[in-house]
Each structure stands twice: as structure tokens, then as C-alpha cells.
Structure 1
């Protein structure tokens, strides 16, 4: 059982690193898909400004990907902030303030 626990922390950072790397790739892919949608709409309808609608959709999707990644990292940070190993005596200061009242 200890052997499984030793392997788990080694793999987790690799997976998290791959997810972070994929953020940049997903941004590029989202914009390219938006451009493809815009080009398709332009070809089907013949209206030139629909290309820019597709570009805007792609950029919006890329921004959404960044926001989702930020939210995920923020939740991880909150978990670490609540972990007693990392709060560095913050709990003790709060307890001291309660005693003064």
C-alpha cells in the first residue's frame, strides 16, 4: 500500500503539467475552429462579414478555456490555503484574537 502512495504523487504533477500545456493548444484550436466556421458561413451565404463572426466565436471560446483553467487552479489554491500544513500559524493568530474579546 505504501508503494502505491509513492507512485501517485510522481504521476500527478506530470498529468497537471500536460493539462497546463494543453491550454495553449486549446486556445489555438478554438480560434482556428472559429475561423473555419466563419469561412464556412462566408462560403455558404456569400456575406463577407460572417468571417469575423466566426473569428469572434473562436476568440470567445479561447477566453472561456482560459477562464475554466483559471477557475480550476483557483480551487486548487483554496484547497491548499485550508490545508493545515500550509497555513503557517494563521490559525493560531485567529485563536489569539478570539481570546481578547
Structure 2
């Protein structure tokens, strides 16, 4: 892989991680803005807090979706030999049979 390709790949990975934080802030700001506009045009003060709640709920939903996507991306490693859990019984049997010095 060339230097340029590695640089671009690292930039994309960094932007992906940064996008979660940005999406959380934007979701809360949109909720606050929506609540402010509803309060301003209707005169009902609790609609502002409803907008804040909607924004925070949207931010939490964004985090949950990112978590589920991350878990799904790690599922591909589950069946890999390198990451498979070792059976401790097999290791103990090797010691019992005298194959290894203690």
C-alpha cells in the first residue's frame, strides 16, 4: 500500500471516529433549536424542553447505532484462528503428560 493510500485510510478512520461526536452535538443543537422555535411560535414554554429531550434522545440513538455497527464489524474476527479462545483443558493435558517442563 502506498504512502498516499495509507494517509487517506488513516484520514477516513479519523473522520469516522470524529463524526460520532459531531453527530451528537448536531442532534442536541437541532433539538434545542426545534424546541426554541416551538416555544417562540406557540408560547408554550415546556415545548423548549421537549425539543431538548428529542435532541438528547437522537444523540443517544446515534451512539447506539454506532455501537451496533462496531459490534457487527468485529463479528468477522470471531471465527478467526488468531482470535479464537484457547481451550485451557488441552493445555493442562499437555502438562500432565509431561510434554512440557514446569
The TM-score with structure 1 as length reference comes to 0.73
Aligned pair 1:47/2:48, yes or no? no
Shift of 1:89: 6.5
For structure 1, which runs of at least 5 residues remain unmatched after alignment?
Answer: 1-5, 97-101
The 5-angstrom pairing of residues 1-101 of structure 1 reads 6-7=1-2, 10=6, 11-84=8-81, 86-88=82-84, 90=86, 93=87
Contact 2:78 2:84 in 1 (8 A): no
Shift of 1:16: 2.2
1:50-75: CA deviations, max 9, x gaps? Answer: 00000000001000110111011101
CA distance in 2, matches of 1:68, 1:89: 28
CA distance in 2, matches of 1:89, 1:36: 50
Q: How many matched pairs?
A: 86
For structure 2, which runs of at least 5 residues remain unmatched after alignment?
Answer: 91-102
Corresponding residue for 1:99? none
CA distance in 2, matches of 1:72, 1:13: 19
- Residues 15 and 82 of structure 1, relative CA distance in 2, 3 Å threshold: farther
